[in-house]
Amino acid sequence: MKQKVAVLGPGSWGTALAQVLAENGHEVRIWGHNKAQIDEINTHHTNHHYLPDLVIPESIQGKMSLEECIADADAVLFVVPTKAIRTVAQEFTAKCRNQPLIIHASKGLEQGSHKRISEVLMEEIPAEKRRGVVVLSGPSHAEEVAVHDITTITAASENLVEATYVQKLFMNDYFRIYTNDDVIGVETGAALKNIIALGAGAIHGLGFGDDAKAAIMTRGLAEISRLGVAMGANPLTFIGLSGVGDLIVTCTSVHSRNWRAGNLLGKGHSLDEVLENMGMIVEGVSTTKAAYELSQQLNVDMPITEAIYKVLYEGQDVRQAAKEIMLRDGKMENEFSI
């Protein structure tokens, strides 16, 4: 059935997901603060800053008013940066007049609280203003979804009826959705893979080869799994789409802004120079701080995350950080202590 869906956040991923929904026959509105961007979407059906080659379906309506965007929506999709989730959720709550399903496709941990995005949404949006919360995550680049490359991701919720609704909402011949009931695992994998992608980019920037890239992805997955299990996740989730799948695509693709940022760090650029050069949010930078602090709190060994934290926040040399990881005491590979 045709559904009314409000997409909050007209960045690259929000725009690509809005396109999928519109092509599936749903009524789609997309909300943002930038008047020039919203006018461009409505008038020219483009979003050049984020997806310069995409022609957006004319049925998608850009909205400056959040209240207009979410009015009578069956589902509301949050695709804003992690740091904006709580503020936007508060504004949504103040202006929502019905009870839509809440979906989010953002990836990160909140600074300070270290909370997952679904936890923030449930804190700020009372039960009477949401049917439930579903996480949409997995190996996906907006640039590839926009041109109908084959993509498979996961819809996660403790309520599989709601996850199945999201599956049906998005699924088509190029965009396949699986369901999962491990929200903790899916969100943890989504957030932490950005940290490892920074490291994979740095390895490339330093000039190391495929052996080093395989090493950081494999041992990075071990770290992600250890922290996720300590938080209550199912370890099997991390060998799925939102775990190893998302990790592979983010650590190997030039579309990945986290990989590109790490690559620049490896080439000797400062963090300030990197962020200025990127021109877009690099979620892995803030997530590194949150994950490092959380690992200390939960007593979980995360040497790669710790090394990247030292590079980003303590100014350690990237090559020296890599050397120190290699010279750590020997370990058993399958040791899964937390």
Q: Per the annotation, where are the binding residues for NADPH?
A: 12-13, 33, 50, 107, 142, 257, 281, 283
d(CA 87, CA 133): 17
Query: Read out DSSP for 137-180?
Result: ESS--HHHHTTT--EEEEEE-SSHHHHHHHHHHH--SSEEEEEE
Rg (CA), the chain: 20
Binding positions for NAD(+) are 9-14, 142, 257
Given 63, 193, 289, 310, which residue is catalytic?
Answer: 193
Q: Which residues line the annotated binding site for sn-glycerol 3-phosphate?
A: 107, 138, 140, 193, 246, 256-258
Q: Give bridge partners of residue 104 from the DSSP assignment.
A: 78, 135
Give the whole-angstrom CA distance, residue 294 versus residue 259: 23
CA angle 7, 9, 11 (to 5 degrees): 120
- Among this protein's residues, is 267 annotated catalytic? no
Q: Which residues of 119-146 are buried (b: 16+ CB within 10 A; e: fewer)?
A: bbbbebbeeebbbbbbbbbbbbbbbbbb
Whether 83 contacts 113, CB under 8 Å: no
Binding-site residue positions = 9-14, 33, 50, 107, 138, 140, 142, 193, 246, 256-258, 281, 283
| Residue 327 to residues 38, 300, 321, Cα–Cα distance (Å) | 52, 19, 10
CA distances to 24, 299, 325, 328 from 336, rounded to whole Å, are 43, 13, 18, 17
Query: d(Cα 201, Cα 267) in Å, to the nearest integer?
Result: 10
**What is the rounded distance in angstroms from the CA atom of residue 112 to the CA atom of residue 114?**
6
CA-based nearest residue to 257, from 242, 238, 275: 275
List, as residue ranges, the binding site for substrate. 107, 257-258
Q: Cite the active site residues.
A: 193
